[in-house]
Amino acid sequence: MRSFSYFQAVLQTGAPVLLALALTGGAANAADGKPSSGEMTEHVDQLLAERWATEKIEPTATSSDTEFLRRASLDFIGVIPRAAEVRQFLADKDPAKRKKLIDRLLASPRYATHMATTWRNRIIPQEPDPSRAREAAALQKWLRTRFAKNLRYDNLVGGLLLTNGGDEIGPALYFQTHDVAPEKMAASAAELFLGVKLQCAQCHDHPFADWSQRDFWSFAAFFARVKTPQNRGMQMVAYRLVDSDIGEVHLPNSEETVPPKYPRGKSAADGDGTSRRTQLVFWLTSRDNHYFSRAAVNWAWSHLFGRPLVASLDNIDHGAPPANVKLLDELAEYFVHSGFDLQSLWRVLANTQAYQLKVSAEGDAQRDPDLFASMLAKPLTPEQLYDSFLLLAPEANAGNAAMTGPIGQPASSLDGDPLRIEFARRMRPPPGEATEYRAGTLQALMLMNGKTVSGVTAPDTSSLLGALEAPFMTDAQRVESLFLATLARTPDEGERKLFRETLAECKSSDDHQRALSDMFWALLNSTEFAFNH
Amino acid sequence: MNTFMPTRRDMLAQLGFGMLGTTCARWLPAFAANVAASPLRKGQCILLWMSGGPSQMDTFDMKPGHANGGEFKEVQTKAPGLRFSEHMPKLAALADKLAVVRSLSTKEGDHERGTHLVRTGHPPQGEVAYPSIACTLSKELEMHAATLLPSYVSVAPVLQISPTSFGPGFLGPRYAPAIVGQQALGPQAQPPRNNGGFAELKLDDLELSPGVSELQASRRMKLWTAMEKKYLTAGAQPSFEAHNALYRKAAGMMRPAVRSAFDLTEEKDDVRKKYGPGLFGQGCLLARRLIERGVPFVEVALGGGLGWDTHVDNFRGVKRLSEELDAGWASLMMELDERGLLESTTILWVGEFGRTPQINQNTGRDHFPAAWTCVFGGGGIAGGQAYGRTSADGMAVEENQVAIGDVLSTLSTALGVPPTRENNTSSGRPIKVAEGAPISAILS
């Protein structure tokens, strides 16, 4: 028998997980004939190729090495590549260099940082209240340490939902920002971990799917007994979450108590000493819960491709392209059998032919985006912008006490960087499609004239510009370095000519220095820089 | 149908890629005149935000002769039967353009909660991040506006009380205010003054960053334009076009001819003095300049921190604030009227709550949300009247009680925006511009 406390201990340490699963008869292993990530990649390629053939669609060409390097870097480690990395990658003759790049990126400490940022924004979509900056930084750290050791996805989710607060102020923030209200927790957990937008059903039966209002409240009932004990007297006590024996939910405008029941499943019973929350996590993260694995895979796909395989899991059998549903299900099955191994899933997806494709260009026939026969360009997120700026000019943030780690190892110090939080708060686009550009003029002005970009491009503070002043460099090399550092590509003939002429026109070394700064500015503010393509 | 009316899009397209030329300055006024004549045009709005909660008993709902009345005299205004405090003589002379709502009743008596309630129309609870009414209305009004300037400029706000009440909430930072002269909290926070003794107002990031010359700026735009042209020709994603158009718009805003809207030194000193030298007075002058240039929504805060929070020494504080208010607000209304803009510009004067009718032992008045006052003026408003009535002691509403939703609906309606218009939150939940019923008696 699994005891509650044992299960919790397992979730929190992460390490004895395999033991726990062995005891309960779970995990798959390589010997049972399941496909390797390479075989799964080939299978995905095959399914998509069949689809393109049926639809008589020609996919776009394969992306260039520099396009792929910049794309994969932004997707997996949240920053653009450095100029030196671009040069190395271009010079590398190994045919497997793209595959090796993915492995390298997944092993980088920045991978964990980027995933933590991404998940923190998913878990708490509104910007955290400044008064909860400490909790937000703790949540970022809590997530980062788990992504760094590639903790099983089911254990990651279980650990989040079963937190008792106290020292774990990070994951407790998830409950705190939802006011520990059963209906808010239910709506959020259903959307994040089941891929189902249940909150419409909070007030009425779901308009498009057969989720009833009662389904919503029976799901919410699992969170009804999570309580926050009041602080005693004036003593400051850490925010704690405990599972009480009492607490129920009621249908709106009704006295009727709704007992806990798994969505489309059986009722849960109180009384065997297992809290409702624990019962929910056992059901939610179980290998047989297709919603859980589908939602994870659908999110992972959209993280790389800019749109999910299936728009909504609410009503998957009506409206979604059947081929995409099949692909989703096979990937979900792979994910379950891999032991909810997120890195293994990334390897499958990032090595597919579809992930190598170019963004469609002018003159291409309009493609149905659900065919994934071309890459969709995604605007850089505020954190991708900020982290990339910081990579270009680490000293621009020198005044920030949180940034004292050695250069190249800024992963942990980004957790609570107040400048990063402030930048993201002012740059965050309104909700919408991941591929849409939705900023306003204030955001554009901030990038054109604001402190962050000015700090990066000022001749006297920019280390990159300082390096370009070295006397042994030619103007052609300077221009090339600027392009590599920002757009991760070499300039074309027209660009070389324009930029070199601009430098040649300079009448003083001071103006020459300023001209380099202007070029840097123009590149950082270009549309090409603003997107991951 | 006026076929000569260019759309906002045409206008931006005409601006082209160039940034530093000033050729558009000459045709801007003509363009503005075209827009003013269009039947599609919506109103413009000025919110005068009274931080700390102003005393209705000593301004617009006086109770002379009652023990609660206090020491100020009441004087007759230009509108028959409508009487204000003696310390607002210029506004009294404009009372025919003001409608005083004396029957506002709310339930939040804490600065943070009251600010949230009044500014968003909702108490601070629940998972919806409600936008400030200013963000919501500027979003509606900007579709019809013809300006290169930001759609919502907020002068001298005190954001610390309730930061979320000043922001765009679920609408996103795209609809955030452009903030000028943000105030710190506390009495020691003095706004910077220039050598003429006037408060300094500056919009962040609208000027070139320090150390960047005009020559550099033009070189930057030349390089940028060349890069953009090539990139946008090669790729045809709508999102790329959106990015490029946004930058061109921002560059347009940076043109000297456009950003000079914020340069108050273009005004004569006697005009600047007339408005009052402080943040509020200079903010009102800036509001006039922005309204002239088509900005849909301008907010000016008065109160220097929580200045209207007169728990102690109420009468000295209110007298000083009334004088500042009178100079700035009255000058603003007069100058807008001279320019024919007052009839299309709706003004709302309001704080987070009113103040207790009883005078406390510190000659102060405390927080009082049960019966208080806000004032409408200008476009869409039937001026020269008081709506609603409080009891002789000021403790209760006796007639025509209104809720905050009614006030915000009235503002929205006066501007030509149906308050029932909806925006969706990220979870798809529709949220109305304002809940409540417009006060038809004060709408013209």
Task: Name the closest residue on chain A to residue B178, using Cα atoms.
Answer: A442
The whole-number average pLDDT for the span A97-117 is: 97
Question: Nearest CA of chain B to the CA of A328: how many Å?
Answer: 23
| B228 closest CB neighbour out of A425, A427, A526 | A526
B162 located within any domain: yes
Q: Angle A104-A482-B17 (CA atoms, 0-180°, nearest 5)?
A: 120
- Taking residues B107-114, report their average pLDDT: 94
- Grouping H, G, I as helix, E, B as strand and the rest as coil, residue A233 is coil
Q: Is residue B312 part of a domain?
A: yes
- Distance from CA of residue A359 to its chain's centroid? 21
Place of tokens 């920045």: A110
Q: What is the pLDDT of residue B233?
A: 84
Six-digit token string for B38: 């269009």
Q: What residues make up the domain containing B331?
A: 40-207+275-442
CA angle A289, A293, A294 (to 5 degrees): 105
* Stretch A281-285: mean pLDDT: 96
pLDDT band at B5 (very low <50, low <70, confident <90, very high): very low
Mean of per-residue pLDDT scores for chain B = 86
Other Cβ atoms closer than 10 A to A285: 21
* CA gap B335, B41 in Å, rounded: 21
Residue A231: pLDDT over 70 = no
Amino acid at A204: H
Rounded CA separation B322/B317 (Å): 8
Q: Which residue has the tokens 């910081």?
A: A390
Measure CA B14 to chain center: 30
Cβ atoms A452, B255 nearer than 8 A: no
Q: How far is B248 from chain A (nearest CA, A)?
A: 9
B97 backbone dihedrals φ, ψ, rounded to 5°: -105, 10
Question: CA angle A445-A68-A39, nearest 5°?
Answer: 140
Task: Evaluate whether residue B227 is within a structural domain.
Answer: no
Residue B32 belongs to some domain of the structure? no
Q: Are B191 and B278 in contact (CB under 8 A)?
A: yes
- Report the 10 Å Cβ neighbour count for A401: 9
Name which of A289, A293, A300, A302 is nearest A332 in CA terms.
A293
Given an 8 Å threshold on Cβ–Cβ distance, is B236 in contact with A515? no
Tally Cβ neighbours within 10 Å of residue A4: 15
Cα A266 to Cα A269: distance, rounded to the nearest angstrom: 10
Q: How many beta-carbon pairs below 8 A join chains A and B? A: 171
Q: What is the three-class DSSP state of B400?
A: coil
| Cα separation, A438 vs B304, whole angstroms | 34
Burial class (CB within 10 angstroms; exposed 0-12, middle 13-18, buried 19+) of A343: middle
Tell whether B337 is covered by a domain. Answer: yes
Average pLDDT of the segment spanning A40-50: 96
Assess A200–B contact: CB distance below 8 Å, yes or no. Answer: yes
Contact B302, B48 (CB under 8 A): yes
Percent of chain B, pLDDT > 90? 65
CB–CB of B285/B331 below 8 Å? yes
Question: In angstroms, rounded to a whole number, what is the distance separating the alpha carbons of residues A8 and B441?
Answer: 63
Q: Mark yes or no for CB contact A430/B171 under 8 Å.
A: yes
Q: Tens of pLDDT along A368-378?
A: 888 999 999 99
State phi, psi for B348 to the nearest 5 degrees: -125, 130
| Range list of β-strands (E), B196-243 | none
A contact test, residue of B130, B152, B205 with most A CBs within 10 A: B205
B122's tokens: 């909702």
The predicted structure's pLDDT at residue A210: 67
Asked if A461 has any chain B CB less than 8 Å from its own CB, the reply is no
User: Is residue B326 within 8 Å of B89, Cβ to Cβ?
Assistant: yes
Chain A positions in Cβ-Cβ contact with residue B224 (cut-off 8 Å): 521-522, 525-526
Would you call A439 an interface residue with chain B, using a CB distance cutoff of 8 Å?
A: yes
For residues A311-315, give the mean pLDDT. Answer: 78
pLDDT score of A519 more than 60: yes
| Record: contact A436-B163, CB cut-off 8 A | no
Q: What is the DSSP string of B263-280?
A: -GGGS-HHHHHHH-SSHH
Nearest residue of chain A to residue B244 (CA atoms): A527
What digits encode the pLDDT tens for the residues A91-102? 999 999 999 999
**pLDDT per residue as tens digits for the range B137-184:** 999 998 887 788 889 999 988 877 787 898 888 888 778 888 887 665
The residue among A426 and A40 whose pLDDT is bigger is A40
* Rounded Cα distance, B389 and A506, in Å: 73
Q: Which residues of A195-224 are buried (b: 16+ CB within 10 A; e: fewer)?
A: bbbbbbbbeeebeebebebebbbbbbbbbb
The number of C-alpha atoms within 13 Å of B397 and in the hemisphere containing its C-beta is 20
Identity of the amino acid at A116: A
**Residues present in chain A in total:** 533
> Hey, are the CB atoms on B239 and A184 less than 8 Å from each other?
no
The answer, yes or no, to whether residue A357 has pLDDT greater than 60, is yes
Q: Which of B370, B434, B351 is nearest to B108 (CA)?
A: B370
A502 touches chain B (CB under 8 A): yes
Q: Can you give the pLDDT at residue B199?
A: 84
In this predicted structure, the answer to whether residue A80 has a pLDDT above a threshold of 90 is yes
C-beta atoms surrounding A99 within 10 Å: 15
Question: Which pLDDT does position A405 carry in this prediction?
Answer: 36
Contact A475, A483 (CB under 8 A): no
A430: closest chain B residue by CA: B172
pLDDT band per the 50, 70, 90 thresholds, residue B2: very low
Confidence of residue A366 (pLDDT cuts 50, 70, 90): low
Least confident of A9-18, A73-82, B121-130: A9-18
Q: What share of chain A is helix, strand, coil (3-state, %, to 5)?
A: 60, 5, 40
User: Residue A130 above 80 pLDDT?
Assistant: no
CATH of the domain at B47: 3.40.720.10
Strand partners, B372: B104
Q: Give me A52's structure tokens.
A: 């393109």
Under an 8 A CB cutoff, do B224 and A525 touch? Answer: yes
| Average pLDDT of the segment spanning A207-226 | 85
In contact, A430 and A438? CB cutoff 8 Å: yes
Q: Which residues contact B376 (CB under 8 A, 6 or more apart)?
A: B98, B99, B101, B346, B347, B348, B349, B410, B411, B414, B442
- Report the C-alpha gap between B174 and B129 in whole angstroms: 15
The one-letter amino acid at A442: L
Spatial distance between the Cα atoms of B43 and B35, rounded to a whole number of angstroms: 11
Out of B174, B232, B427, closest to residue A439 by CB: B174
Name the amino acid, one letter, at A138. Answer: A
Once rounded to an integer, what is the mean pLDDT over residues B29-43? 49
- Quote the CA–CA distance of A435 and A458 in Å, as a whole number: 31
Q: Which residues of B touch A191 (CB under 8 A)?
A: 427
Backbone angles phi, psi at A222, to 5 degrees: -65, -25
Whether residue B214 lies inside any domain: the answer is: no
DSSP secondary-structure letter at A114? H
Average pLDDT of every residue of chain A: 86
Residues B51-107 pLDDT 10s: 999 999 999 999 999 999 999 999 999 999 999 999 999 999 999 999 999 999 999
Tell me the per-residue pLDDT of A432-453, one tens digit each, with 9 for 90 and over.
778 888 787 888 999 999 988 9
**Cβ separation of B174 and A454 shorter than 8 Å?**
no
Residue B301 in domain: yes
Over residues B220-237, mean pLDDT: 88
Provide the shortest C-alpha distance from residue A377 to chain B (in Å): 8
- pLDDT score recorded for residue A3: 39
**Would the CB atoms of B247 and A521 count as touching at under 8 Å?**
no
Beta-carbon contacts of residue A148 (< 8 Å; ≥ 6 apart): A109, A111, A112
Q: Which residues of B touch A438 (CB under 8 A)?
A: 172, 174, 242
Q: Is the model's pLDDT at A396 over the cut of 60?
A: no
Q: Which residue of B has its CA nearest to A453?
A: B209
Task: Record the tokens describing residue A11, joined without a space.
Answer: 């979730």
- The per-residue pLDDT for B238 is 76
Taking the C-alpha atoms of residue B237 and residue A359, their distance in angstroms, rounded to an integer, is: 9
Give residue B148's identity as a one-letter amino acid code: L
**Token reading at A264:** 């489309």
Question: Residue A8: pLDDT band by 50, 70, 90 thresholds?
Answer: very low
CA distances from B243 to A72, A436, B196 (A): 22, 10, 41
Whole-angstrom Cα distance, residue A56 to residue A144? 43
Chain A residues with CB under 8 Å of B124 CB are: none
Question: Which among B163, B234, B428 is the nearest to A361, CB-wise?
Answer: B234
Per the structure, the count of domains in chain B is 1
DSSP annotation of B199 reads B
The Cα–Cα gap between B163 and B177 comes to 12
Residue type, B76: Q
**Both structure tokens of A472:** 């042994």
Question: Is residue A112 within 8 Å of A140, Cβ to Cβ?
Answer: no
A517 touches chain B (CB under 8 A): yes
Rounded Cα distance, B231 and A517, in Å: 21
Q: CA-CA distance, B305 to B308, in Å (whole number)?
A: 9
CA B264, distance to chain mean position in Å, is: 18
